[in-house]
């Protein structure tokens, strides 16, 4: 028997989450964001559940090629645009739309020889200060792009820094609106957090929304809201089994560094899952985990290939019992990846993306 760890990708959950985002932004089209190998789910596997999207947003040309190989003929948007001249040829060949966020990318376009003018998304830096033209430089960039024969159509784009938190989007949305009010072109503004949390403010202002994390069933504003508050379902389950059981007496310790000390007689289960599988090493004692669908906690340090869990709430558990590290148990109990991420001081995004190569993945 192979080592029992497994990542399951839930195609029906991807479909459900996409439909949720479509209904949240009823008059907008949806870019399903599938960068980073569909947030660790596998581009080909995720595509199956997300094919009802209006387009796909990603970063890597190789991922764009994989989508075209799946026979996706609809829009694909390169979210960071082109990195060098050569990429523009591939954009022409594969019909990719691309973001333009800096002067150098306009220079490349101006030098690009093509019969087919391209569709670009001009990005404003509305305050995040990563990519994009500052509001006061935006119109000049637009004017220059608009004069290029290489450009077919310009859409307008921004990305909010605080859609998931208390600051919100008002200031950045206002900066975008002030500068773009009389410019033609479609607009694209919202990630998952903006789409879910700022529906009213954005109504009628966005032609394309760009959800990523919500499609995979994680709440962008956890712990303020959980995935189930937003009616999102986990698209990835990480599961394994107990491969050992130990009976502890008071004073016995568990794992490297003897970080956990038993206070009472108790049973602990040893799970075939460790940090080399992508389970975060920063999860200390008390991280939630399901055994036979029953919620319990990890004890002691996460090691490379194993973690240990408290079996007190599941006395019937033993060798071979089902363990759900995150996602959905066989009987349907859900442990959100966001709760595990919080225990590790990080976010669901990082855990999904960090699923290790050695973990077999099965779409259902
Ligand atoms: C990754 C990304 C998104 C998706 O963000 P989520 O928080 O995962 O919804 C949207 N827009 C851009 C430009 C991105 O890079």
For residue 175, name the pLDDT band (cuts at 50, 70, 90).
very high
pLDDT at position 1 is: 76
Let me know whether 55 and 181 are in one domain: yes
For residue 250, name the pLDDT band (cuts at 50, 70, 90).
very high
Locate all alpha helices (DSSP H) within 211-347, ordered by sequence. Answer: 337-343
User: Rounded to an integer, what distance in angstroms lies between the CA atom of residue 14 and that of residue 283?
Assistant: 27
Does any domain span residue 195?
A: yes
Please state the atom number of ligand 1 nearest to the C-alpha of residue 192: 9
For residue 114, name the pLDDT band (cuts at 50, 70, 90).
confident
For residue 320, name the pLDDT band (cuts at 50, 70, 90).
very high
Residue 115 has pLDDT above 90, yes or no: no
Let me know whether 68 and 172 are in one domain: yes
Residue 351 near residue 280 (C-beta atoms within 8 A):
yes
d(CA 36, ligand 1 centre) in Å: 11
Nearest CA to ligand 1 atom 15: 79
| Mean pLDDT to the nearest integer, 59-84 | 97
Does any domain span residue 1?
A: no
Nearest CA to ligand 1 atom 10: 191
Let me know whether 276 and 185 are in one domain: no
Let me know whether 81 and 160 are in one domain: yes
pLDDT at position 67 is: 98
Identify the residues whose C-beta falls under 6 Å from ligand 1. 33, 35, 79, 159, 191-193, 210-213, 220
**Domain boundary, last residue among 160, 188, 216:** 216
- The model's pLDDT over 148-163, given as tens digits with 9 standing for 90+, comes to 999 999 999 999 999 9
CATH code assigned at 153: 3.20.20.10
Residue 121 has pLDDT above 80, yes or no: yes
Does any domain span residue 138?
A: yes
Does any domain span residue 228?
A: no
d(CA 350, ligand 1 centre) in Å: 13
Number of Cβ within a 10 Å radius of residue 284: 17
For residue 92, name the pLDDT band (cuts at 50, 70, 90).
very high
d(CA 7, ligand 1 centre) in Å: 23
Mutate-to-test residue for ligand 1 from 35, 39, 191, 222, highest number of ligand atoms within 8 A of CB:
191
User: Rounded to an integer, what distance in angstroms lies between the CA atom of residue 9 and that of residue 236?
Assistant: 5
| Mean pLDDT to the nearest integer, 168-187 | 96
Residue 203 has pLDDT above 90, yes or no: no
Residue 94 near residue 76 (C-beta atoms within 8 A):
yes
Let me know whether 206 and 249 are in one domain: no
> Can you give the residue range of the structural domain that contains 254?
236-363
Looking at the structure of the chain, the number of domains it has is: 2
d(CA 33, ligand 1 centre) in Å: 7
Let me know whether 154 and 103 are in one domain: yes
Let me know whether 66 and 207 are in one domain: yes
Let me know whether 240 and 199 are in one domain: no
User: Rounded to an integer, what distance in angstroms lies between the CA atom of residue 328 and that of residue 336?
Assistant: 8
User: Rounded to an integer, what distance in angstroms lies between the CA atom of residue 209 and that of residue 194?
Assistant: 9
Does any domain span residue 222?
A: no
Mutate-to-test residue for ligand 1 from 46, 58, 79, 225, highest number of ligand atoms within 8 A of CB:
79
Nearest CA to ligand 1 atom 14: 79
Residue 151 near residue 120 (C-beta atoms within 8 A):
yes
CATH code assigned at 246: 2.40.37.10
d(CA 206, ligand 1 centre) in Å: 15
Does any domain span residue 341?
A: yes
Let me know whether 49 and 132 are in one domain: yes
Nearest CA to ligand 1 atom 6: 212
Q: Whats the size of the chain, residue-wise? A: 364
Does any domain span residue 90?
A: yes
Please state the atom number of ligand 1 nearest to the C-alpha of residue 79: 13
Let me know whether 243 and 185 are in one domain: no
Q: Which residue, chain included where needed, has tokens 């194993």?
A: 306
Q: What is the mean pLDDT of the chain?
A: 97
124 token code pair? 């404003």
| Mean pLDDT to the nearest integer, 25-43 | 96
Let me know whether 150 and 290 are in one domain: no
Catalytic positions, written as ranges:
35, 256
In sequence order, the β-bridge partners of residue 291 are 294, 323
- The model's pLDDT over 220-248, given as tens digits with 9 standing for 90+, comes to 999 999 999 999 999 999 999 999 999 99
**Domain boundary, last residue among 216, 248, 278:** 216
d(CA 38, ligand 1 centre) in Å: 11
pLDDT at position 2 is: 87
Please state the atom number of ligand 1 nearest to the C-alpha of residue 210: 10
**Domain boundary, last residue among 216, 246, 272:** 216
User: Rounded to an integer, what distance in angstroms lies between the CA atom of residue 295 and that of residue 307?
Assistant: 15
For residue 87, name the pLDDT band (cuts at 50, 70, 90).
very high
Does any domain span residue 194?
A: yes
Let me know whether 178 and 301 are in one domain: no
């Amino acid at each position: 028997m192979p080592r029992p760890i497994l990542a399951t990708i839930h195609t029906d959950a991807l479909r459900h989450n996409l439909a949720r985002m479509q209904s949240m932004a009823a008059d907008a089209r949806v870019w399903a964001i599938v960068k980073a190998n569909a947030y660790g789910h596998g581009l080909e596997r995720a595509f199956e559940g997300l094919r009802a999207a209006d387009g796909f947003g990603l970063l890597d040309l190789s991922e764009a090629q994989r989508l075209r190989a799946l026979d996706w003929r609809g829009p694909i948007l390169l979210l960071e645009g082109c990195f060098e001249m050569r990429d523009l040829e591939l954009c022409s060949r594969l019909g990719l739309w691309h973001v333009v966020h800096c002067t150098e990318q306009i220079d490349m376009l101006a030098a690009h020889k093509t019969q087919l003018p391209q569709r670009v998304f001009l990005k404003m830096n509305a305050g995040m200060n990563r990519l994009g033209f500052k509001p006061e430089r935006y119109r000049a960039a637009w004017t220059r792009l608009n004069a290029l024969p290489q450009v077919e159509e310009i859409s307008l784009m921004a990305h909010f820094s605080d859609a998931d938190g208390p600051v919100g989007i008002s200031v950045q949305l206002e900066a975008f609106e002030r500068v773009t009010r009389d410019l033609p072109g479609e607009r694209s503004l919202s990630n998952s957090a903006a789409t879910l949390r700022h529906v009213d403010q954005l109504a009628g202002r966005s032609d394309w929304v760009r959800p990523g994390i919500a499609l995979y069933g994680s709440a962008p504003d956890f712990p303020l809201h959980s995935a189930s508050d937003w009616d999102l379902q986990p698209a990835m389950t990480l599961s394994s089994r107990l491969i050992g059981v130990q009976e502890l007496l008071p004073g016995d310790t568990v794992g490297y560094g003897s970080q956990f000390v038993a206070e009472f007689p108790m049973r602990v289960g040893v799970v075939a899952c460790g940090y080399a599988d992508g389970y975060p090493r920063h999860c200390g004692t008390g991280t939630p985990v399901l055994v036979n669908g029953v919620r319990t906690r990890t004890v002691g340090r996460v090691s490379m290939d194993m973690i240990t869990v408290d079996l007190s709430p599941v006395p019937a558990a033993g060798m071979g019992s089902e363990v759900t590290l995150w996602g959905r148990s066989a009987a349907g109990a859900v442990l959100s990846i966001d709760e595990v991420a919080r225990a590790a001081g990080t976010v669901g995004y990082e855990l999904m993306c960090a699923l290790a190569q050695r973990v077999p993945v099965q779409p259902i």
